[in-house]
Amino acid sequence: MCLGVPGRVERVWDADGISMGEVDFGGVRKEVCLAYVPDVGVGAYVIVHVGFAITTLDEASALETLALFRSIGTLEAEFADPLAAADSPPPTPPLEATP
């Protein structure tokens, strides 16, 4: 599932003519393309989808959405490290009871 996740812009820079930023998603920071929201600055909240900030939103809405995502485990699932998961052993199947 792909989500648009709200985050707070912490840093902005130019990368070969493309506006980029570091966005904090409730403790997880990612590099994000800001080309679709060219007037955004540090401290603004944006919705990010597949690495692109697609719109801005107010702080209250962003924090409420982050809290909801956190409460249902969506943030952890969205930002899980696939390489770390690959290093984990597969879960052990439950033992079947014998009569």
What pLDDT, in 10s, does the model give residues 4-38? 899 999 999 999 999 999 999 888 899 999 999 98
> Is residue 60 a part of any domain in this protein?
yes
**Does the pLDDT at position 61 exceed 70?**
yes
Query: Is-above-0.85 flag for pTM?
Result: no
In a domain, 96, yes or no: no
pLDDT of residue 96: 62
Three-state DSSP class for residue 25 = strand
Indicate the SS3 state at residue 30: strand
Does a structural domain hold residue 45? yes
Host domain of residue 19:
5-81
The whole-angstrom separation of Cα 12 and Cα 34 is 8
Question: Do 40 and 72 contact (CB within 8 A), yes or no?
Answer: no
- Tell me if 56 is assigned to some domain: yes
- The band of 72, judged by pLDDT with boundaries at 50, 70 and 90, is confident
Query: Band of the pLDDT at 85, cuts 50, 70, 90?
Result: very low
* Spatial distance between the Cα atoms of 99 and 96, rounded to a whole number of angstroms: 10
What is the average pLDDT value for the chain, to the nearest integer? Answer: 83
User: Domain for residue 98, yes or no?
Assistant: no
Count the domains in the chain: 1
| Dist CA 8 CA 58 (whole Å) | 10
